[in-house]
A and B are shown apart, each in its own frame.
Chain A
Amino acid sequence: EAAVTQSPRSKVAVTGGKVTLSCHQTNNHDYMYWYRQDTGHGLRLIHYSYVADSTEKGDIPDGYKASRPSQENFSLILELASLSQTAVYFCASSDAGGRTGQLYFGEGSKLTVL
Chain B
Amino acid sequence: GQQVKQSSPSLTVQEGGISILNCDYENDMFDYFAWYKKYPDNSPTLLISVRSNVDKREDGRLTVFLNKSGKHFSLHITASQPEDTAVYLCAAGENQGGSAKLIFGEGTKLTVSS
Residues of A within 8 A of B (CB): 31, 33, 35, 40-45, 48, 50, 56, 58-59, 90, 94, 96, 98-103, 105-108
Contacts and interface: CB of A to CB of B under 8 A. Distances in A.
B89 A105 contact: no
Nearest to B98: A98
B95 A100 contact: yes
Nearest to A38: B106
Interface in B73-96: 89, 93-95
Contacts of A45: 101-104
Contacts of B46: 102-103
B107 A42 contact: yes
B6 A42 contact: yes
Interface in B31-52: 31-32, 34, 36, 41-46, 49
B31 to A, nearest CB: 7
Size bracket, chain B contacts: 20 to 34
A1 to B, nearest CB: 11
Nearest to A59: B103
A28 B61 CA distance: 32
Contacts of A56: 99, 101
Contacts of B36: 103
A100 B100 contact: yes
Nearest to B31: A100
A56 B98 CA distance: 12
Contact of B100 (A31, A43, A59, A90): A31
A33 B101 CA distance: 8
A59 B98 CA distance: 18
B8 to A, nearest CB: 12
B31 A43 contact: no
B9 interface: yes
B95 A105 contact: no
Interface string B1-44: 00100100100000000000000000000011010100001111
Contacts of B9: 40
